[in-house]
Amino acid sequence: MTETLPTILDRIGNTALLPLRKIVPANGARILLKLESANPTGSMKDRQALAMIEAAEADGRLKPGGAVVEYTGGSTGVSLALVCAVKGHPLHIVSSDAFAKEKLDHMRLLGATLQVIKSESGGQTEKLTRDMIEAARVIAEETGAFWTDQLKNHDQLAAYHRLGDEIRRQTEGKVDAFVQSVGTAASLRGTGERLRQHDGQIRIVAVEPAESAVLSGGSSGAHKIDGIGAGFVVPLWQTGVADRIERVSTEEARAMALRLAREEGLFCGTSTGANVVAALRLAGEMGAGATIVTVMCDTGMKYLKGFGEFI
């Protein structure tokens, strides 16, 4: 019998784990990719958005029909737009022209109202992030909307604890390393925390843009890896949450995203490309017999125009 679900939100989570077949190092560790593109909006941020909204509804911070506001590079905004559409919450999003137009269009189609801040260089910078945060704060203050404030929101960690549980179940506990790029740091922190609860020896590797490698002591700068690299050390980041930090350039991340599409049939965004670049580096060190899990953060359909020169 075909399963009938209450709402589309019940399709969030429980995504598949897939081994890379061709993009692997010789005699290196096995790399498994968590297919978060299978979530309803094609992004792992569906998990985060649902957790933040449901926690606020449960404790009364967000009333029935109450408005929500957030700043976002795109994926969180699309996910919030989906959740708010289903639950009946008006949504105001602050974003920028630095991010994929497909994401901005998707948010509007799901009913969100957008304020789009113009970037200085077409890339994400610390100033742009802070300008977006301030704009969202002003909207929340003037309208009384509930501000999810994703860079500081601890409610989302529970969603990524569940992601860690899924990974452990799917690998039967046989996972030696977890690799994930850092935006709010919630996915790396929450998933890493849960995996470490089961195995204190697991290696947790963070990934950040080489052009803005602030977590590893570098300078802030502009980059074009959507969804990661805020340009400053984000509040949810904790020293010790990762055993190491890998720097991956926009060029490396984009090239790997194209390889994944053409060699593995996996059409993803640049944050996923960055994850796989870092996972491959680690796989060569760990050797055969080890298992590394990383994340396909979202679908490449969110970035289709950005790959236009290759079509």
Q: Would you please indicate which residues are annotated as catalytic (active-site) residues? A: 45, 271
Tell me how far CA of residue 130 lies from CA of 50, 106, 147, in angstroms: 24, 23, 15
Helix (H, G, I), strand (E, B) or coil at 157: helix
Q: Cβ distance 235 to 261 under 8 Å?
A: no
Per the CB < 8 A criterion, the answer to whether 271 and 225 are in contact is: yes
Residues 6+ apart with CB under 8 A from 69: 91, 92, 93, 94, 136, 139, 140, 143, 145, 146, 147, 148
Angle at CA of residue 52, ends 156 and 183, nearest 5°: 45
How far apart are alpha carbons 133 and 43 in whole angstroms?
22
Do 143 and 69 touch, CB atoms closer than 8 A? Answer: yes
If one counts every other C-beta atom within 10 angstroms of the C-beta of residue 31, the result is: 25
Give which of 165, 156, 240 is closest to 195, Cα–Cα: 165
How does DSSP classify residue 171?
A: T
Burial 157-186 (b: 16+ CB within 10 A, else e): bbbbbbbbbbbbebbeeebbbbbbbbbbbb
CA angle, corner 11, sides to 192 and 13, nearest 5? 10
Q: What is the DSSP letter of 12?
A: S
